[in-house]
Each structure stands twice: as C-alpha cells, then as structure tokens.
C-alpha cells in the first residue's frame, strides 16, 4: 500500500527527549555486549512512562480513570488535524474556534516549540507554548478524542493544580505529548500512536506517525 506522505512525529530517545522535572531520565545500558565476547547485545532501559513522545490516559490524574491497557488498539488510530498556532506564548480558543473538527478527532498543535527546535532540544525550559484552560474547555466541548502538543507537557508545571490535564482527561480525551511537527504541513491525516501494552499504566511511550 502506498501513501502520499508518512511523517514520524516522535522525538528520539536519548537525544531529543525532554525530561519533566523530578522524573527519571531515559537511559540505555548494554548489559551484554558482542564487543565484550557475549553471545548477543542486550540492553537495559531506565525511563519514565512519560519519557519521550508519550500518551497520558485518564488515570494519570483522574481517580478510577482508565489506564492505557483499558483501551483497544483502535483507540490509538485516529483521524487527526494538524493546526498551526500563531501565538508564541499559549494556545487560545480564538485560534481553534474556526477549525472543522469532528467528535473523536485528534487535534495536534504545531507551535513555536516545533518551529524553533525547542521540541527536540533535549532541554526542559520554563518558557514554552502551552494549552490554555479556556482552549481545553473548547476541546472538551468539541468532544475530541485526543489532543497533542509539541512539548513534554501540555501546561506549565508552575500550576500544581494541573487544570488542563484534568479537564481533558476527565472528559476522556487522551493527551499526546512531546511530538515534533516541524516538518509536517497543516492539514488532515491519520494518526497512529500505539502505546506499550502495560498492565495498569497511566501513560506510555509511543512511536507516533501521521499518514495521508
């Protein structure tokens, strides 16, 4: 089967990933090595469920919310729209109101984070483009299936009440974080973002791609 375009929107673990403050950084260590005479190469991984490009499920913030393994695989294959965001500070409802979205769609925000290279810098900075609570309310109103942003978190860590996460996840909207949309033209796609099949996990790293 041929496609018009395929975009890998995942960040490269160990190079481009951004660690949220207080979470263990991604690392990979060879515990068996062909160079050392072992029969194979074998790596050990240390990482958070929120390392690199990852999905948040409701149980991340919502008591008794769904875990990653509570969803069928089809929940992670969605019609998606990539929309450019002009505001260099936050995503506001005014930039979303005229969008033609449908219930269940994934809405991916292409912000200055991607354009500037911040999304793949490997460095957590306090200043990045994020989703405002008012824009989150609009996403809930539109009954989206997923929202995605080109940074490690969808809202500032300075607000320890996490209103945006809670608004979205409490409404059953999955959150895809740490995507890179720098080379992706705005428009409609099919999003594939399948997580690891882990029992009881509130989040999971994914390999996210867009196809049209």
Tell whether 135 is covered by a domain.
yes
Q: Minimum mean pLDDT among 1-5, 159-163, 172-176, 199-203: which range?
A: 1-5
The answer to whether the CB of 155 falls within 8 A of the CB of 164 is: yes
pLDDT at 49 over 90: yes
From residue 103, give the alpha-carbon distance in Å to each of 62, 100, 109, 181. Answer: 22, 10, 17, 23
Tell whether 144 is covered by a domain.
yes
Structurally, how many domains does the chain consist of? Answer: 1
**pLDDT confidence tier of residue 3, bands split at 50, 70 and 90:** confident
Mean pLDDT over residues 179-196, rounded?
98
Dihedral class, residue 145 (left if φ above 0, else alpha if ψ from -120 to 50, else beta): alpha
Q: Where are the alpha helices (DSSP H) in the chain?
A: 112-115, 133-141, 163-170
Is 165 catalytic? The answer is no
Residue 91: Cβ-neighbour burial (10 angstroms; 0-12, 13-18, 19+): buried
Mean pLDDT of all residues in the chain? 97
Q: What is the pLDDT of residue 126?
A: 87
pLDDT at 157 over 90: no
Tell whether 83 is covered by a domain.
yes
CATH of the domain at 187: 3.50.30.50
Give tens-digit pLDDT for 86-126. Answer: 999 999 999 999 999 999 999 999 999 999 999 999 999 88
Tell whether 28 is covered by a domain.
no
**pLDDT confidence tier of residue 47, bands split at 50, 70 and 90:** very high
Tell whether 142 is covered by a domain.
yes
Tell whether 25 is covered by a domain.
no
The answer to whether the CB of 107 falls within 8 A of the CB of 146 is: yes
Q: What is the pLDDT of residue 79?
A: 98
Q: Which domain holds residue 13?
A: 6-19+49-211
Q: Express as a percent the part of the chain with pLDDT over 90.
A: 95
Q: What is the pLDDT of residue 127?
A: 93
Tell whether 36 is covered by a domain.
no
Q: What is the pLDDT of residue 159?
A: 87
Q: Express as a percent the part of the chain with pLDDT over 70.
A: 100
Tell whether 130 is covered by a domain.
yes
Q: Give the integer Cα–Cα distance in Å for 157 and 125.
A: 11
What DSSP assignment string belongs to 41-101?
-EEEEE--TTSSSEEE-GGGTSTTPPPGGGS-GGGGEEEEEEEE---SSEE-GGGTTT---
**186 phi/psi in degrees, rounded to 5:** -60, 150
Q: Which residue has the tokens 């990653």?
A: 68
Q: What is the pTM of this model?
A: 0.96
Radius of gyration of the chain (CA): 17
Q: What is the pLDDT of residue 29?
A: 97
Mean pLDDT over residues 137-154, rounded?
98
pLDDT at 1 over 80: no
**pLDDT confidence tier of residue 158, bands split at 50, 70 and 90:** confident
Mean pLDDT over residues 13-20, rounded?
96
**pLDDT confidence tier of residue 64, bands split at 50, 70 and 90:** very high
Q: What is the pLDDT of residue 2?
A: 80
Options 50, 54, 60, 165, the catalytic residue: 60
């Amino acid at each position: 089967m041929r496609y018009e375009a395929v975009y890998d929107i995942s960040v490269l673990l160990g190079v481009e990933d951004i660690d949220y403050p207080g979470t263990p950084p991604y690392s990979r260590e060879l515990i068996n090595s062909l160079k050392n005479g072992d029969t194979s190469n074998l790596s050990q991984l240390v990482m958070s469920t929120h390392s690199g490009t990852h999905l948040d499920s409701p149980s991340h913030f919502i008591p008794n919310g769904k875990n990653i393994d509570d969803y069928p695989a089809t929940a992670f294959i969605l019609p998606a729209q990539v929309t450019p965001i002009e505001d260099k500070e936050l995503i506001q409802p005014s930039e979303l109101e005229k969008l033609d979205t449908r219930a269940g769609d994934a809405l991916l925000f292409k912000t200055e984070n991607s354009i500037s290279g911040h999304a793949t810098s490997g460095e957590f900075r306090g200043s990045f483009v994020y989703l405002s609570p008012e824009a989150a309310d609009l996403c809930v109103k539109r009954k989206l299936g997923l929202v995605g942003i080109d940074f490690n978190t969808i809202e500032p860590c300075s607000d320890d009440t996490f209103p945006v996460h809670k608004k979205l996840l409490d409404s059953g909207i999955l959150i895809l974080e740490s995507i890179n949309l720098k080379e992706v033209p705005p428009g409609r796609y099919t999003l594939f973002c399948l997580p690891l099949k882990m029992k009881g996990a509130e989040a999971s790293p994914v390999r996210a791609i867009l196809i049209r």
